[in-house]
Amino acid sequence: MLGILHAMKASHLFVRCLENEGVETIFGIPGEENIDVMDALLDSPIRFITTRHEQGAAFMADVHGRLTGRAGVCLATLGPGATNLITGVADANMDRAPVVAIAGQAATTRMHKESHQHLDLVSLFRPITKYATQIRDAEVIPEVVRKAFKVAETEKPGVSFIDFPENIAEADIDGKEPLLVQRASQPTPPVQKIQQAAQIISEAKFPVIMAGNGVIRGHAATQLVDFAEKLNIPVATTFMAKGVIPSTHELALGAVGLQARDYVMCGFDRADVIICVGYDMVEYHPHLWNKQKTSKIIHIDADPAEVDEHYIVAAGVIGEIAAALPAITALARRHPGYEFGALRETIIEELAEFAVDDGFPMKPQRIIWDLRQVLAPQDIVISDVGAHKMWVARMYQAQQPNTCIISNGFASMGIGLPGAIAAKLVFPDRVALTVVGDAGFLMNSQEIETALRIGTPIVILVWTDSEYGLITWHQMRTFGRSSHTSFKNPDLVAYAESFGAKGYRVEAASELMPILTQAIADDTVVVIDCPVDYAENMKLTEKLGKLVCPI
């Protein structure tokens, strides 16, 4: 409810503006230069979640934004508090997650000179945000906050950064009120572009759809599946679009994104027309799938295509994806059945190959298989970044959008654990589980305390190899030897227990499923130490190197 506000502190007006945007939760760490905002929050229904590192707060806002489409909010103090936000902020921005990041700042009366902890934060955040600004006068607070949320939430979403000097926050302000929240709507794509795309699809011999995260953001998964079914065209997804078509669907080809060739690429090799829907090249560069520049590309997205020599668009359908797809469906010719069945069979066989493998340490394939058996379709897996991410991305069978969260734009380690906390807050009735490497786990493991304190049960499945496994894999592929990638782990079970969380160690392959089931039933924060056999990484490289296309 908007209403005329009378004299109040600027910090209170600021918090009222956040409430007006529908903010329910802020993740962050208090500091000296944001004390007025922290104090104003005591009089607000907004829940403040105190984290143990600002990076954790930024990752929580990141995943909150991805899951809800509404800006997640994180807050830090000036200087070191703000610089600690940076990795999570950059991650959200490149993964197109709406986030508003707020930092306290030195008073405007000391910014012109050497001054304790003062940094030019707007300049620091500008390259990693869509919009970065400083509140220089309390009068502009309603405009700044409205603009920050509008920019963050508008396609393609990303981060807005607000720098809030302490002397402005404590000033009095009169007669200002939050501005009306209006959501930017997307235009319906022009009819001639729809016709052009429909004609190219009708004339295609082997069209393939590549769906990206824009489909999830545009709430167009149902329309995408309908489009694929009615026109009988197979669908590959990027890592960040997993679940837009259920993996069990007969037209689903799985996820693309490995830098190496993969089975799905056989479909792309064969294709003469590639229909990119909500596709973002930050995830999977077109030179990897259109090396010869021979594919005809249809670009269906909220925004015009990025310029790239390997992504020359034959038809660009710009506007609301959920409107574009049915409009094209209505005009295009249905394709007769093409032999993608053999490709899908090969992919399905590979998934089940190690389903009952008893080897220990566990094969990645078996871990993923067991995980899928234990989790319900709506449960949420958040992957951290490493070799485990490649296995999750390739093999985890997502059935619904936003049930497998992967960071594939900025791809920062450390997102998994804070991301699981955010997911549990957004969906308290679902299981939130993070698959995380032993290195990425320890980058933000202090947030176990946060999760316990705020009462968000999460399962943390740590794949232990005592290495930066993905880097070893890359080094072995490139040089045949690894350089400085190994380390020692603490006792992860004892570590978990020292926080008051539960800890389990998997000691045989057959133990994982019962431990996972128990961990979910425990309904608290649970760490599972699961030794993984990464000899499978190079085996995968060798197998894919010799890949013979089944179609």
Which stretches of the chain bind ligand TPP, using CB under 6 A?
385-388, 411-414, 437-440, 463, 465, 467-471
Query: Least distance (Å) from Mg ion to the CB of residue 464?
Result: 7
Cα distance from N-terminal residue to C-terminal residue, the chain:
60
CB of 390 to Mg ion, least distance (A): 12
Give the closest residue to 461 by CA, choosing from 528, 518, 415.
528
465 binds Mg ion (CB under 5 A): yes
Tokens of 92: 């959200």
Q: Which of ligand TPP, Mg ion, none lies near 60, with the C-beta cut-off 5 to 8 A by kind?
A: none
- Comparing CB distances to Mg ion, the nearer of 166 and 438 is 438
Taken in order 239, 242, 245, 247, is the CA torsion positive or negative? positive
Shortest distance in whole angstroms from residue 87 CB to ligand TPP:
6
Q: Which two tokens stand for residue 153?
A: 């939430």
Which of ligand TPP, Mg ion, none does 411 bind, CB closer than 5 to 8 A by kind? ligand TPP
388 binds, among ligand TPP, Mg ion, none (CB under 5 to 8 A by kind): ligand TPP
From the CB of 466, what's the least distance to Mg ion, in Å? Answer: 7
543: left (phi over 0), alpha (psi -120 to 50) or beta: alpha
62 binds, among ligand TPP, Mg ion, none (CB under 5 to 8 A by kind): none
CB of 538 to ligand TPP, least distance (A): 13
Comparing CB distances to Mg ion, the nearer of 214 and 414 is 414
In the complex, the smallest distance separating the C-beta of residue 413 from ligand TPP, rounded to whole angstroms, is 4
Whichever of 67 and 443 has its CB closer to ligand TPP, that residue is 443
Q: Which residues in the 424-463 window bind Mg ion by CB under 5 A?
A: 437-438
User: CB of residue 506 vs Mg ion: minimum separation in angstroms?
Assistant: 15
The answer to whether the beta carbons of residues 277 and 209 sit under 8 Å apart is yes
Distances (CA, A) of 333 to 126, 200, 203, 226: 46, 10, 8, 14
Q: Which does 279 bind (CB under 5 to 8 A by kind): Mg ion, ligand TPP, none?
A: none
| CA dist list (Å): 547 to 108, 207, 228, 346, 448 | 62, 22, 27, 11, 42
Q: Out of Mg ion, ligand TPP, none, which partner does residue 440 contact, by CB within 5 to 8 A per kind?
A: ligand TPP
Chain CA centroid to CA 17, Å: 27
Residue 415: HSE in the Cβ half-sphere, 13 Å Cα cutoff: 32
Closest approach of Mg ion to the CB of residue 242, in Å: 22
Compute the C-alpha angle 397/420/465, nearest 5°: 70
Q: Toward Mg ion, which CB reaches closer, 409 or 469? A: 469
List 297's β-bridge partners, or say none. 274, 313
Indicate the SS3 state at residue 401. Answer: coil
**Residue nearest ligand TPP by beta-carbon distance:** 437
For Mg ion, the closer CB: 34 or 537: 537
Distance separating alpha carbons of residues 355 and 93, to the nearest angstrom:
37
Rule CB under 5 A: choose which of 469, 485, 537, 540 binds Mg ion. Answer: 469
CB closer to Mg ion out of 88 and 437: 437
Q: Which is nearer to ligand TPP, 395 or 439 (CB)?
A: 439
| Residue 463 Ramachandran class (φ > 0 left, ψ -120 to 50 alpha, else beta) | beta
Could you say whether residue 280 binds Mg ion (CB under 5 A)? no
Q: Give the span between the Cα atoms of 292 and 271, in whole angstroms.
A: 12
Asked if 368 contacts 374 with a C-beta cutoff of 8 angstroms, the reply is no
The smaller minimum CB distance to ligand TPP, of residues 33 and 283, is found at 283
Q: Quick one: how many helices (H) and strands (E) in the chain?
A: 23, 20
Binding residues (CB under 5 A) for Mg ion: these are 437-438, 465, 467, 469
